[in-house]
Amino acid sequence: MSNDLIHMMTETFEGHAQETENCIEYWLARDLQHLLGYAEWRNFLNVVTKAKTACEVSGHVIRDHFVDINKMLELGSGSRREISDIILTRYA
């Protein structure tokens, strides 16, 4: 993998970072799903489950790094639908 590609991927990842009111950096799992090339949410959830296990095994509290949320998704017809997502810290 070339240095240019690594640099571009890192910038893309960092560009999706968000921040809470308390200055805690986080990413939304659905954003990372697409960045990492997962077409289906259910397949990406398997990765998140493994990351939660690794978090727990390393002695960290899962809920400090993985927070389940619901958000509204705008559909093409102008309607909205609620979907699940996960707030992930950098450690997650």
Read off the pLDDT of residues 36-80 as tens digits, 9 standing for 90 and up. Answer: 889 999 999 999 999 999 999 999 999 999 999 999 888 888 889
- The predicted pLDDT at position 69 comes to 95
Q: pLDDT tens digits, residue range 20-39?
A: 899 999 999 999 999 888 99
**pLDDT of residue 86 exceeding 80:** yes
Place of tokens 């954003």: 31
pTM comes to 0.84
Q: Look up residue 52 and give its two tokens.
A: 């939660």
Contacts (Cβ under 8 Å, ≥6 apart) of 55: 62, 65, 66, 91, 92
What is the pLDDT at residue 3? Answer: 82
Is 63:52 a contact under the CB 8 Å cutoff? no
DSSP 22: T
